Amino acid sequence: MKKYQQLFKQIQKTIQNETYAVGDFLPSEHELMNQYQVSRDTVRKALSLLQEEGLIKKIRGQGSQVVKEETVNFPVSNLTSYQELVQELGLRSKTNVVSLDKIIIDKKSSLITGFPEFRMVWKVVRQRVVDDLVSVLDTDYLDMELIPNLTRQIAEQSIYSYIEDDLKLHIDYAQKEITIDHTGDRDKILMDIGKDPYVVSIKSKVYLQDGRQFQFTESRHKLEKFHFVDFAKRHPK
């Protein structure tokens, strides 16, 4: 990562944790140079990135003013828990556990989730509240053979932390399918959709290091709240 990108991340974090609130002005270019021990060119490139991301606006004769961030960059290629994403992006968020049930996978749900028919799983429905709006609705299915115990408290905090830290299982990779779906009645009831006719659905089958599937999840996202971003690298021939 280049210096200006590192500086962008550092200043972005100060905005997200409200060290600099909406309406505040960032320190001058000269002050930023001294504070972070970087060149003027690095500062200017970092400020340009912040402006492109909609975090600041430049006002002639006054400086760089923090503005309201309208969207969240959601990294679709990463296998990251929601709580890890919240910490990384500095989001003001909380989780509501709508339901936590034990169910048996039937023929129809087997085709959707990838779990074999008659498998016992946990079904967890959670609302992700971002900036006081229910912006994500997560429905998770978790294999009870691998995760025999699950509580509402764990589901409210971080299931991945519980799996890795307490159960000592190694989460490895996921297969994802991303679609734009029409808003359904369930979305309208459990999410703050407003008049949005669509939601972004991300369906993931998630596997352990030994190749066993332990999770299927569908995350339904409020369309206007997120930018879905990816990192792609060309492999040499």
Identify the CATH number of the domain in which residue 46 sits.
1.10.10.10
- Its domain, for residue 219, covers 72-229
Give pTM, 2 decimals: 0.66
Contact in structure between 93 and 184 (CB atoms under 8 Å): no
Judgement on whether residues 48 and 121 belong to the same structural domain of the protein? no
* Ordered mean pLDDT values, 10 residues apiece, the chain (237 residues): 90 87 90 94 91 81 79 66 73 90 97 96 94 89 97 94 95 91 93 85 94 96 73 63
User: Residue 90 has what pLDDT?
Assistant: 73
Same domain, 132 and 210: yes
Last residue of a domain, one of 66, 87, 113: 66
Contact 65, 54 (CB under 8 A): no
Residue 207, token pair as written in the block:
């596997």
CATH code, 83: 3.40.1410.10
Q: What per-residue confidence (pLDDT) applies to 234?
A: 64
Domain boundary among 31, 49, 66: 66
On whether both 52 and 98 belong to a single domain, the answer is: no
Q: Same structural domain for residues 15 and 97?
A: no
* Three-state SS annotation for the chain: CCHHHHHHHHHHHHHHCCCCCCCCECCCHHHHHHHHCCCHHHHHHHHHHHHHCCCEEEECCCEEEECCCCCEEEECCCCCCHHHHHHHHCCCEEEEEEEEEEEECCHHHHHHHCCCCCCEEEEEEEEEEECCEEEEEEEEEEECCCCCCCCHHHHHHCHHHHHHHHCCCCEEEEEEEEEEEECCHHHHHHCCCCCCCEEEEEEEEEEECCCCEEEEEEEEEEHHHEEEECCCCCCCC
Residue 73 backbone dihedrals phi, psi, to 5 degrees:
-80, 120
